[in-house]
Amino acid sequence: MGKANINGFAVEFQDGMTILDAARKVQIDIPTLCKHPDVLASGACGICIVKMKGNNRMLRACCTPIEEGMDIITHDPEIVETRRTVLELILSNHPNDCLQCGRNNNCELQTMASNFGIREIPFPKVVPDIPKDTSTDAIVLDPSKCIKCGRCVEMCQHVQDVWALSFLDRGIDTRISPAGDILLGDSPCVRCGQCSAHCPTGAIFEQDDTAKVWKVLQDPDKYCVVQIAPAVRVAVGEGFGLPPGTNLTGKLYTLLRRLGFKAVFDTNFSADVTIMEEGSEFVQRFVHKKGPLPLITTCCPSWVDYMEKFDPDMIEHFSSAKSPQEMLGALSKTYYAQKNDLDPAKIVNISVMPCTAKKYELKRSKSMYSSGYQDTDIVITTRELIRMIKQAGIEFTNLPEEQPDHIMGDYTGAGTIFGATGGVMEAALRTAYHLVTQKELGRVEFENVRGLKGVKETSVFIEGTEIKIAVAHGLGNVEYVINKIRQGKKEGKMPYHFVEVMACPGGCIGGGGQPYGITDAVRTQRTQGLYSDDEKSTLRCSHHNPYVKKLYDEFLGHPLSHKAHELLHTRYVPRPEYKK
Amino acid sequence: MGYEKRIFICDTDGGNIKPFEDALNANLRAEGLVEKVQIVRLADAGIYRKGVMVKVTPENIVYIDVKMDDIKKIVDSTVKMGQAAPDIAQKPPEKQLKIVLRNCGNVDPERIEDYVALDGYKALSKVLESMNPDQVIDEMKKSGLRGRGGGGYPTGLKWSFARKVQDDQKFIICNGDEGDPGAYMDRSVLEGDPHSVLEGMTIGGYAIGASKGFLYIRAEYPLAVARVEKAIEQARASGFLGKNIFGSGFDFDLEVRLGAGAFVCGEETALIASVEGKRGCPRPRPPFPAVKGLWNKPTIINNVETLANIPYIFLNGAENFAKIGTESSRGTKVFAVTGKVKHSGLVEVPMGTTLREIVFDIGGGILDDKKIKAVQTGGPSGGVIPENFLDTPVDYDNLGKLGSIMGSGGMIVMDEGDCVVDISKFYLGFCVDESCGKCAPCRIGGKQMLTILEKISQGKGELSDLDNLRKISFAMKKASLCGLGQTASNPVLSTLRYFELDYKQHVVDKRCFQGKCKDLFVFTIIQDKCKKCSLCQRNCPVDAISGSREEGFLIDQKKCTRCGRCFEACKFDAISR
């Protein structure tokens, strides 16, 4: 705690606050292009400079701790002019092709240029000519648009611990690239897309598959089926000025029908199916000792990719259950096709996901073709859907609310919380309790697995038996859990029985394909949106979902049945970190 | 069995000294002196400009520009008789005061006995036996020693910060990543007197509470690395490093780390990143390394020259050291004087010596007795100081007031034939090459300034370019992350300040009157001097010269590509440019 002065306003600050943080407390916005709350300040852009009385130098507000008695000036003609020069320099090193850029109207650099009223750049253009890297099918790297803020590298190396992206070369030739100047697709990249979600410009961008979707929607021979992931419904509104966490499920169903989809399903339904499979698998291993513990969740394709590359010794712990997206894709071309007498060859399964890695998951192994066709065909992210809505000329936020198509659209509260860290665990525990005891829980909430703490370790008791669990999100937090498992294996004493991992901080609500501007505050709001959806649901456990029951009664038989294994389960193989 | 005499040899032109050494060796063998006389090769011999330098100790007789024929004379009169050979002897210039370089050339850097014989490690023993760490720091504060690497931060104060932080592990690092073009004072100390640096580090380690130190030396200095490593081994064997030094209970050891040749790794936080095995980029400060440095432990980084001062301070007393120099800058400074000066080399003078004394009294004046234009100090990010400020006493503050810096002690003398645009381009080009690329002001600003300077030197400059140079300079100074970017524009800013006319000649008149900017040359035949020999016409590759041996010759400026072949070919200086 201390007191300082900013532009003459007295400000009280807590220890550890920077000048930038303290200024925000008195409604002063110091511009910056590199600082993001999710990463450590690097001081790269040089825009947030401020003056301190009695010091001739200018200080970086983003990384200078505020101290007792400091007298800071954040805006005066000299400071603003210096910022403007730095901004002009950055623009002289940028293509400035805003009209053709995916970040048009949604770019931090563009906004700043607009705010500063930049009308001309007095310096010659020195723009690097570096080709785009499209090798991942999920994320496109366009280094010529990069302003070297370093957020993506920080996210990739320190938050996600993947180390696919780094800076190469020096001076004016500095650029982002996988180490060794290889393609991103040949690097350890797990396609989580956190780089793209944190990029202030268009230098890292999701692979845009909207054109593919428009094309199949207009093809009279195709039967387009869509699913929306849990986390999409509480974030899509941000593209239309609504606060994070606003639940737009009903409007999304209406919208997707108006866009031309023949069947509108919900990934929340297949999340319920996932719980039936994964929950049963857990019971098999925990109660009947068939298979090693802990069981580790596998809904997240980035986590699966990460594990196959970095922790292949964990494969035996992995749930063989596919992700909800892939389960729904497989069921759409089998169960749904049969019920409605459709030719599965004509069905195109499109999913709207908060995630860039889902684009990679489509073809990740042979199991993704279990229906006899590619189970899911196209993935678009929340950001792509927002663009499609705007192109379609639909007043999205004024739409009436409709219901999904019933056979695979209805969900329970357990399915919807999949989108937040701890959600899969909580949903699984609700059903596991029933599977073990054949009783129903009085109170279904497991608060200890909720929240943004990087690793949540806790225990639950089912009829006096302790289940030790761990929930990790943000890949940088995984190593701690994995090392504990390895240690436990060595000592013959397992620290956990059940582990949930989500690659992105906050879980899918903080996914790499979600609307820009992610912070912990936004994560909390989106998460709240999902938990409210759960609370409002009349059914809150996956095994209560009548359509899930129907699915097993009419088609799959029972969880972990032969047919379920064929369609809803997969295998894992160790993969090299580097392809070449 | 020690040697009776020692002969130090050095080829100051940087040539191969081996044949000379062999001849000297043969001569000594013939005289039966091989056992008694040791030959020591030096990398640098101080302020001598030409040829082979030979110094015989203990007589301390120094010869320069020694030829093979002189070997016998030197052996006969100096080695055998202890007298100077009259034809070739030359005494070193005066006005210098050697503290940092006190032992360079007087000890065999590969023999710890030599260093010990000259009171080596006596300061360390005094410190460990009679002083506590706080007293050591007080003594350093009293000495007024400021960092010699460029920043000029008071060393004692820096140490006190690391001392105050409680931690189980602290480090001291010797910054030997000397990268300024033309500077080699650190190299000379590391090669010529490594033990004084080791002793300084050990004293520093004791003061701050570090048990481990690293010497970060650039890999391009293999001799320095080899000698430092040998010195560490010898110091360990003698009990000056390792466990329980002098029975004091103080443990301290050293290790060498190699720099990979990036200039920016001389910056403290970039150096730390490099030692940790990361990309050599600076990070924001605070936290300062003294609080959170190498592997997040409190770390003190001192320059080679700073460290070499420390044993002297404790041997002779801080008060005596503080008597040398000026009010704000105590002690001496080593400069690497080069450029258009008669004697280039290392000079060590008390702070407060004027630039004129350094250039004219020690350096012998300007080459070919031309007119001096300016002195550039502080390496690539220093500024130029014009002739009318040459009587300024050199210290940290005075150089700063003149728009330059002390830097690590580079000093380049420019004569009237030097073009400031050309010089600025060279220095800025160096910093642009060496920018780590992390922060935008330095990365792009440097490149843009260089682009503008190139434009000016090609005759495409506009007056608004001069404003843009100033504008970018200001932003780089204020908004760059580290010292490299903050000072990279100094050469441009200071030349714009003192030599704006030269820039305007380039921009408005499109002429470089110093004859350095090739694109601005206008080759013309001076008809009075022309002997009509036709050599120029025959050498012109583009047929731009018309005329005949009868009528004389003319250069068609439209066709001329300014290649300069005519200018070089003319034997009568009849072509001007």
What pTM did the predictor assign?
0.89
Section B169-173 average pLDDT: 97
CB contact under 8 A, B444 and A90: yes
**Residues on chain A bordering chain B, Cβ-to-Cβ distance under 8 angstroms:** 41-47, 49, 57-58, 60, 62-65, 82-83, 85-86, 89-90, 92-93, 122-124, 126, 147-148, 150, 166-167, 169-174
Residue B468: which of A63, A64, A123 has the nearest Cβ? Answer: A123
> Could you tell me if B283 lies within 8 Å of chain A, comparing CB atoms?
yes
Whether residues A288 and A345 fall in one domain: yes
Residue A245 lies in a domain: yes
The reply to whether A292 falls in a domain is yes
Residues of B with CB below 8 A from A62's CB? 284
Nearest CA in chain B to A62: B284
Q: What is the CATH number of the domain that holds A155?
A: 3.30.70.20
On whether any CB of chain A is under 8 Å from the CB of B435, the answer is: yes
Please check whether residue B481 touches A, CB under 8 A.
yes
Q: What is the mean pLDDT of residues B352-364?
A: 92
Tell me, yes or no, whether A519 lies in a domain.
yes
Closest chain A residue to B479, measured at CA? A46
Strands A455-462 and A465-473: antiparallel
Q: Chain B residue closest to A41 (CA)?
A: B284
In this structure, the answer to whether residues A47 and A164 fall within a common structural domain is no
Judged by CB atoms closer than 8 Å, whether chains meet at A124 and B451 is answered as yes
| Same domain for A425 and A369 | yes
Same domain, A298 and A442: yes
Please tell me the CATH code under which domain B420-509 is placed.
1.20.1440.230
Least confident of A408-412, A440-444, A543-547, B12-16: B12-16
| Strand ranges for A339-394 from DSSP E | 347-353, 378-381
Task: Assess whether A340 and A437 both reside in one domain.
Answer: yes
With CA atoms as reference, the chain A residue closest to B470 would be A85
Cα distances from B76 to residues A440, B5, B10, B58, in angstroms, run 110, 13, 20, 16
What mean pLDDT is predicted for residues A171-200?
Answer: 95
Report the residue of B276, B431, B448 to disrupt the A interface, i.e. the one with the largest count of A CBs within 10 Å.
Answer: B448
Can you tell me the distance from the alpha carbon of A224 to that of A256, in angstroms, rounded to the nearest whole number?
Answer: 10
B91 pLDDT band (50/70/90 cuts)? Answer: low
Please identify which residue in the block is written with the tokens 């013309």.
Answer: B524
User: What DSSP letter does each residue of B348-408 carry, written as one string?
Assistant: EEETT-BHHIIIIIIT-SBGGG--EEEEEESGGG--EEEGGGTTSBPSHHHHHHTT---TT
Tokens 């759960």 found at: A534
Contacts of B301 (CB under 8 A, 6+ apart): B172, B173, B174, B175, B268, B271, B272, B289, B293
Chain A contacts of B440, Cβ < 8 Å?
Answer: 44-47, 86, 89-90, 93, 147-148
pLDDT tens digits, A118-145:
999 999 999 999 999 999 999 999 999 9
The Cα of B205 is separated from the nearest Cα of chain A by a number of Å equal to 29
Q: Is residue A579 predicted with pLDDT exceeding 90?
A: no
What's the whole-number average pLDDT of chain B? 92
| CATH code: domain of residue A32 | 3.10.20.740
Residues of A in contact with B474 (CB under 8 A): 82, 85
The structure tokens listed for B565 are: 């072949």
CB atoms within 10 A of CB A349: 30
Give the C-alpha separation, A528 to A426, whole Å.
Answer: 15
Q: What is the mean pLDDT of chain A?
A: 96
User: Is residue B283 a contact partner of residue B267, using CB atoms and an 8 Å limit?
Assistant: no
Convert the pLDDT of each residue in B413-462 to its tens digit: 999 999 999 999 999 999 999 999 999 999 999 999 999 999 999 999 99
Q: Binning pLDDT at 50, 70 and 90, where does residue B64 land?
A: confident
A173 interaction partners in chain B (CB closer than 8 Å): 437
Answer yes or no: do A44 and B448 touch at CB < 8 A.
no
What would the pLDDT profile of A493-534 be if each residue is shown by its tens digit?
999 999 999 999 999 999 999 999 999 999 999 999 999 999
Task: Judge whether residue A112 has pLDDT over 90.
Answer: yes
Residue B512 near residue B466, CB atoms below 8 Å:
no
Contacts of B221 (CB under 8 A, 6+ apart): B176, B178, B187, B190, B191
Tell me A515's DSSP state.
Answer: P
Number of domains in chain A: 3
Residue pLDDT, tens place only, A23-66: 999 999 999 999 999 999 999 999 999 999 988 889 999 999 99
Sheet holding B5-11, edge to edge: B37-41, B5-11, B52-57, B61-66
Distance from CA of B495 to the nearest CA of A (A): 21
Return the percentage of chain A with pLDDT > 70, whole number: 100
Q: Are residues A189 and A234 in the same domain?
A: no
Q: Is the pLDDT of residue B49 over 60?
A: no
Residue at which a domain ends, from A206, A231, A253: A206
Chain B residues inside the 8 Å CB shell of A147: 440
Q: Which pair of tokens denotes residue B165? A: 């932080």
Please tell me the total number of residues recorded for chain A in this structure: 580
Pairing, β B345-350 against β B372-377: unpaired
What backbone phi and psi angles, to 5 degrees, belong to B191?
-80, -35
- pLDDT given at position B143: 96
Chain B residue with CA closest to A92: the answer is B444
- Domain presence at residue A6: yes
Domain boundary among A172, A206, A240: A206
In chain B, residues with a C-beta closer than 8 Å to the C-beta of A91 are: none
Percent helix, strand and coil across chain A, each rounded to 5? 45, 15, 45
At residue B96, the pLDDT reads 81
Q: CA A301 from chain center: how many Å?
A: 11
Kindly report, residue by residue over B217-267, the tens digit of the pLDDT.
999 999 999 999 999 999 999 999 999 999 999 999 999 999 988 899 999
Do A50 and A183 fall within a single domain? no
Q: Identify which of A214, A216, A211, A210 has the alpha carbon closest to the alpha carbon of residue A346.
A: A216
Q: What's A502's domain CATH number? A: 3.40.50.1780
Q: Is the pLDDT of residue B47 over 70?
A: no
Which of A58, A172, A175 best probes binding to B when mutated, by most B CB atoms within 10 angstroms? Answer: A172
Cα distance between the two ends of chain B: 65
Residues A426 and A292 in one domain: yes
Residue with token string 């999904």 = A404
Encoded amino acid at B385, one letter: I
**Any domain includes A290:** yes
Which residues on chain B are in Cβ contact (under 8 Å) with A116?
A: none
Residue A535, domain member (yes or no): yes
Domain co-membership, A324 together with A375: yes
CB contact B291 to A (< 8 Å): no
- Quick one: tokens of B498? 């003192």
The residue among A206, A221, A250 that closes a domain is A206
Task: Using an 8 Å CB-CB cutoff, list chain A residues near B283.
Answer: 42-43
State CA A362 to chain mean position distance. 16
Residue A433 sits in the same domain as residue A499: yes
Flag whether pLDDT at B111 surpasses 50. Answer: yes
How is chain B split into domains, by residue range?
5-80, 112-322, 332-415, 420-509, 521-576
- pLDDT, tens only, A1-34: 899 999 999 999 999 999 999 999 999 999 999 9
Classify domain B332-415 at the CATH class level.
alpha beta
Give the tokens for residue A331. 């069921």
CA atoms of B73 and A138, how far apart (whole Å): 80
Identify which of B279, B440, B472 has the shortest CB distance to residue A45: B440
3-state secondary structure B80-145: HCCCCCCCCECCCCCCCCCCCCCCCCCCCCCCHHHHHHCCCCHHHHHHHHHCCHHHHHHHHHHHCC
Whether the CB of B262 is below 8 Å from some CB of chain A: the reply is: yes
Give domain status of residue A226, yes or no: yes
- Out of B437, B451, B478, the one facing A58 most closely (by C-beta) is B478
Check if B433 contacts A (Cβ < 8 Å).
yes
Q: Could you read off the pLDDT of A283-342 as tens digits, one per residue? A: 999 989 988 999 999 999 999 999 999 999 999 999 999 999 999 999 999 999 999 999
> For A225-254, what is the mean pLDDT?
97
Residues A382 and A518 in one domain: yes
Separation of CA B558 from chain center: 44
The per-residue pLDDT for B1 is 43
CATH for the stretch B5-80 = 3.40.30.10
pLDDT at A553: 96
The partner residues of A225 in beta bridges, in order of sequence, read A263, A349
Would you identify the CATH topology of the domain B112-322?
Rossmann fold (3.40.50)
Alpha carbon separation from B480 to A43, B419, B443, B473 (Å, rounded): 9, 28, 9, 10
A105 inside domain: no
- Could you tell me if B56 lies within 8 Å of chain A, comparing CB atoms? no
| Contact (CB<8Å) A122/B451 | no
Most B-contacting residue of A20, A42, A62, A86 (CB-CB within 10 A), to test interface: A86
* Separation of alpha carbons B445 and A86, rounded Å: 8
One of 3.40.47.10, 3.30.70.980, 3.40.190.290, 3.30.70.20 is the CATH number of B521-576, namely 3.30.70.20
- Chain B interface disruption, residue of A55, A89, A144, A148, most B CBs within 10 A: A89
**A490 and A549 fall within a common domain:** yes
| CB-based contact, B436 to chain A, within 8 Å | yes
Residue range of the domain that includes A14: 2-75
Residue A19: what residue type?
I
Q: Judge: A86–B440 Cβ closer than 8 Å, yes or no.
A: yes
Contact B443 A172 (CB under 8 A): yes
**pLDDT at A77 exceeding the cut of 90:** yes
